[in-house]
């Protein structure tokens, strides 16, 4: 079977990146992709550490994920998806301590959002954790090599973790075309070559780009737009 | 024209204000618009502007009053309860005819309310929470691009009309992301420009009384105050004609006509598509200016239309203007959610069918 993404070869995958790069959409998609498959562990959990963004958080998809058998951990106020209190539940430690649980961590944006990872730092050993940095070359702050690397370096500086993997998530929502993704691919390749990282996958929004259009890219990860109601893309 | 970038509403609105020539920003953080002061604190100083975090929204609006009175192009933003705190200042700005661009990224209320999107500030922005006879032109974008374009235009309008201009974008528009094209930078006004273009501004005219400028809202003589208010209203009557904006579609043969602004107009458009697939013809009036309200749009509705539905994220505030526009020609109904809940387009379509079934 063709792989969508380079193997997630460690138990904990931390998804970090610039604010608005698409971390949450990737985390939810990865969880839905892995759910019900043999992903190497007995359990699967998404941990939402985004305490900056007031809207569009992965815990909003709690029902979708839980129905698929994915544990969802995040705010201390389970039902209160809209609470803006930066409070995280103590039960977040459960999946992190559970050696039989695969964990996908949706970190907050930028260094200021990723700093929340630090309180769980003891779980992030090199043996069991891999951090992936999501890059969208259409975001103004990460549109070129210098900007994208600056963001990654800032996240690494505050967390002490290295983003060994890069995820190209360059898109313009439903206006994305293959050229958009290829532009991002080139930027991510440059980042990988010059800073010693590995391109983990190239994402494409499934509703608007066809897989064949990205022939030649090694790992093509289709994304469903779980976080985006369709009416947000109604033309005005 | 620059290339498309993917931006969050709040970031794009802040950038549009800078590019529109707003050199001064005074603000205080409040969800769901805190990305705006954050963006301004980072960008404005780099680009020759001034960012000030005020001690409260009261401080922000009064700093805006001061900088605007000195002829500067000022942008301020807040969210519902913060805009409520600013209302006294808005009244003063209108009386003193000081141009300022204001943005309300609105959330659920009343009181401190919640942080999810709301439109229950319709009365606040169109009727004003401040004292006295005054009016504020209000524009409500339905997309981030439209918000960018309106904010870019707003400093020009504010200067032209010597009045605050209000933008109302609900929290969804502030928080969502969308591809946008940003306009070119309009140069910041320098002192010489201000002196030439704004003779009323407090620019320090020396000891001579000849060109002395006074910016004030205090008028103790009743005949003086009456004449001043009459003058303001002559201006507002002109603004009503010049600034009214709307879009409409499908009015010629609609069974049902929706009236919706902001993000609600977007989901209503999807509801209209759902209804079309079910054989129900639906049209839309989308007010872009909330004051002046596009009453004239309602004259285009077909005599065959069975009902006009105001669709709102409030208990029904715009519906009062809808009733004025309809003027007894059609039944007027309301589809709404409040408290920060955004209905789905399916929900709007179903409720519209229920309403139609009863008529």
| Nearest Cα residue in chain B from A136 | B6
Q: Do the chains contact at B146 and A236, CB–CB below 8 Å?
A: yes
Q: Do the chains contact at B176 and A232, CB–CB below 8 Å?
A: yes
pLDDT at A52 (0 to 100): 76
CATH numeric code, B247-358: 3.40.50.920
Structure tokens, A190 = 């440059």
| Nearest Cα residue in chain A from B264 | A231
pLDDT at A82 (0 to 100): 57
Q: Which residue, among B325, B299, B338, B353, has the nearest Cα to B108 in the 3D structure?
A: B338
Between β-strands B256-259 and B282-287, what pairing exists: parallel, antiparallel or unpaired?
Answer: parallel
| Nearest Cα residue in chain A from B11 | A140
Q: pLDDT (tens digit, 9 = 90+) per residue, B14-40?
A: 999 999 999 999 999 999 999 999 999
Spell out the per-residue pLDDT of chain A, length 236, in tens. 579 999 999 999 999 999 889 999 999 999 999 998 999 999 999 999 887 777 887 777 888 999 999 999 986 555 555 555 667 888 999 999 999 999 999 998 889 889 999 999 999 999 999 999 999 999 999 999 999 999 999 999 999 999 999 999 999 999 999 999 999 999 999 999 999 999 999 999 998 999 999 999 999 999 999 988 888 888 87
**Most B CBs within 10 Å: which of A55, A75, A108, A177, as the mutation test of the B interface?**
A55
Q: Considering its fold, how many domains does chain A have in total?
A: 1
pLDDT at B121 (0 to 100): 97
Half-sphere exposure of A98 (CA within 13 A, CB side): 16
B31 and chain A: CB distance < 8 Å anywhere?
yes
Half-sphere exposure of A106 (CA within 13 A, CB side): 32
Beta bridge partners of A17: A134
CA dist., res. A40 & res. A11, Å (int): 9
Contact between B170 and B108 (Cβ < 8 Å) = no
Q: Nearest CA of chain B to the CA of A192: how many Å?
A: 23
Give how far the C-alpha of residue B270 lies from the chain's centroid of Cα atoms, to the nearest Å: 24
pLDDT at A81 (0 to 100): 54
Cα A205–Cα B278–Cα B141 angle in degrees, nearest 5: 55
Q: Across residues B248-252, what is the average pLDDT?
A: 97
CA dist., res. B225 & res. B217, Å (int): 9
Contact between B270 and A228 (Cβ < 8 Å) = no
Of B5, B31, B270, the CB nearest to A234: B270
In a domain, A57, yes or no: yes
Give how far the C-alpha of residue B313 lies from the chain's centroid of Cα atoms, to the nearest Å: 16
Q: Nearest CA of chain A to the CA of B115: how many Å?
A: 7
Q: pLDDT (tens digit, 9 = 90+) per residue, B290-327?
A: 999 999 999 999 999 999 999 999 999 999 999 999 99
CB pairs below 8 Å between A and B: how many? Answer: 74
Is B1's pLDDT higher than 70?
no
User: Which residue intervals of chain B bear CATH 3.40.50.920?
Assistant: 247-358
CA dist., res. B211 & res. A138, Å (int): 51
CA dist., res. B178 & res. B253, Å (int): 32
Q: Do the chains contact at B179 and A175, CB–CB below 8 Å?
A: yes
| Max CA separation in chain B (angstroms) | 74
pLDDT at A74 (0 to 100): 83
In a domain, A212, yes or no: yes
**Most B CBs within 10 Å: which of A50, A225, A234, as the mutation test of the B interface?**
A234
In a domain, A7, yes or no: no
Q: Do the chains contact at B5 and A229, CB–CB below 8 Å?
A: no
Residue with tokens 């009064």: B62
CA dist., res. B58 & res. B221, Å (int): 28
Of B11, B175, B344, the CB nearest to A55: B175
Q: Do the chains contact at A53 and B175, CB–CB below 8 Å?
A: yes
Q: Do the chains contact at A138 and B265, CB–CB below 8 Å?
A: no
Q: Nearest CA of chain A to the CA of B119: how many Å?
A: 17
Q: Across residues B123-145, what is the average pLDDT?
A: 96
Q: Across residues B217-243, what is the average pLDDT?
A: 98
Cα–Cα distances in angstroms (integers) from residue A109 to residues A133, A134, B208, B319, in the given order = 10, 10, 56, 39
Backbone phi, psi, residue B43, to 5°: -90, -40
Q: Do the chains contact at B6 and A231, CB–CB below 8 Å?
A: no
Q: Which residue, among B140, B177, B171, has the nearest Cα to B342 in the 3D structure?
A: B171
CATH of the domain at A117: 3.40.50.300
Cis peptide upstream of residue B32 (ω within 30 degrees of 0): yes
CA dist., res. B124 & res. A177, Å (int): 42
Tell me which long-range contacts B197-204 makes (C-beta under 8 A, separation of at least 24). B197/B71, B197/B159, B198/B71, B198/B159, B200/B97, B200/B162, B201/B69, B201/B70, B201/B71, B202/B69, B202/B70, B202/B71, B203/B70, B203/B71
CA dist., res. A123 & res. B67, Å (int): 52
Structure tokens, B166 = 């209000």
Contacts of A26 (CB under 8 A, 6+ apart): A15, A134, A167, A169, A203, A221, A223
Tell me which residues of chain A have a C-beta less than 8 Å from any C-beta of chain B.
Answer: 19-20, 53-56, 82, 84, 136, 138-140, 143, 171-173, 175, 229-232, 234-236
Q: What is the mean pLDDT of chain B?
A: 96
Chain A residues with CB-CB distance to B286 below 8 A: 236
Cβ count within 10 A of residue A27: 27
Q: pLDDT (tens digit, 9 = 90+) per residue, B39-97?
A: 999 999 999 999 999 999 999 999 999 999 999 999 999 999 999 999 999 999 999 99
CA dist., res. B227 & res. A121, Å (int): 69
Please name the CATH architecture into which domain B5-191 falls. Answer: 3-Layer(aba) Sandwich (3.40)
Is B204's pLDDT higher than 90?
no
Interface of B with A in 53-92 (CB under 8 A): none
Q: Nearest CA of chain B to the CA of A13: how many Å?
A: 25
Contact between A21 and A152 (Cβ < 8 Å) = no
Q: Which residue, among B224, B239, B61, B56, has the nearest Cα to B134 in the 3D structure?
A: B239
Q: Is B321 helix (H, G, I), strand (E, B) or coil?
A: helix
In a domain, A17, yes or no: yes
B194 and chain A: CB distance < 8 Å anywhere?
no
Beta bridge partners of B105: B169
Residue A67's domain comprises: 12-227
Q: Nearest CA of chain B to the CA of A218: how many Å?
A: 25
Structure tokens, A206 = 């499934």
CA dist., res. A203 & res. A163, Å (int): 17
pLDDT at A78 (0 to 100): 57
Chain A residues with CB-CB distance to B344 below 8 A: 229, 231
- A62 against B261, higher pLDDT: B261
Cα–Cα distances in angstroms (integers) from residue A24 to residues A219, A227, A231, B126, in the given order = 19, 8, 19, 37
Tell me which long-range contacts A56-61 makes (C-beta under 8 A, separation of at least 24). A56/A24, A56/A227, A56/B175, A56/B176, A57/A24, A57/A81, A58/A24, A58/A27, A58/A28, A58/A106, A58/A227, A60/A227, A61/A28, A61/A226, A61/A227
Q: Do the chains contact at B115 and A54, CB–CB below 8 Å?
A: yes
CA dist., res. B58 & res. A90, Å (int): 39
Q: Do the chains contact at A138 and B4, CB–CB below 8 Å?
A: yes
């Amino acid at each position: 079977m063709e792989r969508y993404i380079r193997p997630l070869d460690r138990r904990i995958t931390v998804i970090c990146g610039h604010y608005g790069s698409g971390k949450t959409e990737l985390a939810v998609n990865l969880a839905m992709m892995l759910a019900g498959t043999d992903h190497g562990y007995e359990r699967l959990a998404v941990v939402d550490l985004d305490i900056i963004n007031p809207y569009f958080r992965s815990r909003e998809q709690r029902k979708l994920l839980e129905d698929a058998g994915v544990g969802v951990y995040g705010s201390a106020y389970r039902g209160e998806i809209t609470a803006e209190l930066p409070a995280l539940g103590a039960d977040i430690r459960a999946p992190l301590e559970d050696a039989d649980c695969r964990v996908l961590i949706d970190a907050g944006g930028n260094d200021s959002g990723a700093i929340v990872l630090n309180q769980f730092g003891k779980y992030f050993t090199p043996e069991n954790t891999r951090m992936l940095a999501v890059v969208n070359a259409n975001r103004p702050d990460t549109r070129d090599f210098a900007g994208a690397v600056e963001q990654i370096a800032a996240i690494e500086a505050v967390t002490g973790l290295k983003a060994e993997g890069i995820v190209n998530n360059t898109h313009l929502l439903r206006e994305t075309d293959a050229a958009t993704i290829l532009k991002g691919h080139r930027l991510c390749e440059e980042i990988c070559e010059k800073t010693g990282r590995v391109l983990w996958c190239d994402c494409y929004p499934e509703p608007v780009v066809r897989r064949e259009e990205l022939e030649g890219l090694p790992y093509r990860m289709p994304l469903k737009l779980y976080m985006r109601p369709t009416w947000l893309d109604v033309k005005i | 024209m620059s290339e498309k970038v993917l931006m969050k509403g709040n970031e794009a609105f802040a950038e549009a204000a800078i590019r529109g020539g707003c050199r001064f920003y005074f603000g205080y953080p409040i969800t769901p618009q805190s990305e705006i002061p954050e963006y301004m604190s980072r960008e404005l100083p780099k680009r020759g502007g001034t960012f000030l975090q005020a001690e409260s929204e009261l401080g922000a609006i009064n700093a805006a009053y001061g900088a605007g009175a000195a002829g500067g192009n000022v942008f301020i933003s807040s969210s519902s309860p913060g805009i409520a705190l600013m209302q006294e200042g808005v009244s003063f700005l209108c009386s003193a005819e000081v141009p300022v661009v204001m943005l309300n990224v609105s959330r659920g209320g009343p009181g401190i309310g919640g942080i999810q999107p709301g439109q229950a500030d319709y009365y606040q922005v169109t009727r004003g929470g401040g004292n006295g006879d005054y009016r504020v032109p209000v524009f409500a974008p339905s997309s981030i691009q439209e918000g960018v374009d309106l904010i870019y235009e707003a400093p020009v309008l504010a200067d032209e009309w010597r009045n605050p201009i209000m933008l109302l974008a609900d929290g969804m528009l502030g928080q969502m992301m969308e591809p946008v094209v940003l306009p070119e930078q309009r140069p910041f006004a320098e002192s010489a420009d201000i002196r030439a273009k704004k003779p009323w501004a407090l620019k320090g005219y020396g000891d001579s009384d000849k060109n002395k400028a006074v910016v004030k809202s205090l008028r103790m003589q009743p005949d003086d105050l009456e004449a001043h208010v009459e003058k303001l209203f002559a201006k507002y009557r002109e603004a009503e004609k010049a600034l009214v904006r709307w879009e409409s579609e499908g009015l010629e043969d609609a069974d049902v006509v929706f009236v919706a602004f902001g993000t609600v107009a977007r989901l209503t458009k999807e509801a209209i598509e759902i209804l079309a697939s079910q054989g129900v013809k639906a049209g839309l009036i989308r007010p872009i200016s909330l004051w002046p309200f596009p009453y004239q749009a309602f004259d285009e509705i077909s005599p065959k239309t069975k009902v006009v539905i105001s669709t709102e994220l409030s208990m029904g505030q715009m519906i009062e203007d809808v009733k004025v526009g309809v003027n007894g020609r059609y039944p007027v109904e309301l589809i709404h959610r409040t408290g920060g809940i955004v209905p789905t387009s399916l929900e709007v379509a179903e409720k519209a069918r229920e309403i139609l079934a009863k008529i």
